[in-house]
Amino acid sequence: MMLSWFQIVRLGFVQMALGAVVVLTTSTLNRLMVVEYALPAVLPGALVALHYGIQMTRPRWGFTSDTGGNRTKWIIGGMCILALGGLGAAYAVTLFATSYVAGLIASIVAYAMIGLGVGASGTSLLALLATATAPHRRAAAATITWLMMIFGIAMTAGISGGFLDPFTPARLMTVVTVVVALATLLTIVAVGRIESRVTPCAPEAPTPFMDGLKEVWSERKTRNFTLFVFLSMNAYFMQELILEPFAGLVFAFTPGQSTTLSGAQNGGVFLGMLTVGIVATGLRRGALRSWVMVGCLGSAGILVAIAMAGFGLTQMALTPLVVALGFFNGMFAVAAIGSMMALASEGRGQREGTRMGLWGAAQAIAAGFGGLVGAAAVDVMRRLTTDGEAFGAVFIFEALIFIAAAIMASRVMDTGRRPAATLVPGE
């Protein structure tokens, strides 16, 4: 038996739970460090880079799923580690008020746990989807789970933002505790007994991990796709750590308002993904490469507009601009990683998890590197100019990377049309 639609939706709730925990650690906590605790932006940038760096283990998790083993225990176990890491990260932020060293040590441990938990749970989940989903349902299954994750991120950011004002350390711990507890419970209920009721392909004889990884890397399509993911995701994640501090320092947003802003951005991402799916499916308009380029160039244009607001050259409200940025980001994300499920099944058999792990690692490295570069650049620029101009300069640089990604897409991505069912992003 293969996964039913109901079981696929249940696994989507696991993605939702993962996104709910991660959004608090990559958006809300970094804003609190920079604005409320007056720490340099490079610190949360380095911590988030640490959590992404540890996700370089994703190919190993995927390979383990390919060669056998209980995926359910890794999904639930990884979620538990992620939940503890998220709770620890929130507590570590409160420690900075009394001891910088204690806060730093606790943050390093917590963000390491976050990276380990996301890598174990997320990659094992995708491997289960790839191997236990009927071929004609794979793309649609990945689309469903991704959109549910974005919905979880937007919902968590929006609701938790309302409960964070007025900000106090105790209120922060209460909000984070509720979120991680609900996410863990949802994961256990959603994934329970699914794996035992389906029959994925029989695991192959044990193969050394490096041999399996070399086999996958030798495939030209896999290599090109990995390189594109790395460049484009640098642009995608460069604003992740600086957008909320930008809202707080330049537009005087409160912690709750900036967290809600993050929710609005992810709502835009959700709408962008739906738009591509509806237009490509219902109207059969646009090739994969075209959607990538529109998403990249649209994101670049909105980033320039946000930079102009930072420079004081326009009076446009920040929230609509951020929603528009999310919209084009979502359009790009769906199209850019649209062929993931199809490509994961191409080439040598029983390497779906390894390929997805490789792309997940490329995304994680790019996300950590891009976020760190963006945060460090803001710190440097703030020493040279005003806050608005400092953030604006970094947003301009990010726009240029999006343009470069669009150019790369025009040269390396498939120029043929693909059905909407193949427009599937990865985590």
* Domain assignments of the chain as residue spans, ordered by start: 5-422
User: Tell me: the pLDDT tens digits for 285-340?
Assistant: 767 678 889 999 999 999 999 999 888 888 788 999 999 999 999 888 877 766 66
Query: Percentage of the chain surpassing pLDDT 90?
Result: 30
What's the mean pLDDT in 160-180?
89
Band of the pLDDT at 423, cuts 50, 70, 90?
Answer: very low
User: What's residue 44's pLDDT?
Assistant: 86
Does the pLDDT at position 18 exceed 90? Answer: yes
CATH for the 5-422 domain, from 1.20.120.1200, 3.30.460.20, 3.40.720.10, 1.20.1250.20: 1.20.1250.20
User: What's residue 174's pLDDT?
Assistant: 94
User: What's residue 221's pLDDT?
Assistant: 79
User: Tell me: the pLDDT tens digits for 105-115?
Assistant: 999 999 999 99
In sign, the C-alpha dihedral spanning 213, 214, 216, 217 is positive
Cα Rg of the chain (Å, integer): 20
Q: What is the DSSP string of 172-241?
A: HHHHHHHHHHHHHHHHHHHHTTTGGG---PPP-S---HHHHHHHHHTSHHHHHHHHHHHHHHHHHHTTTT
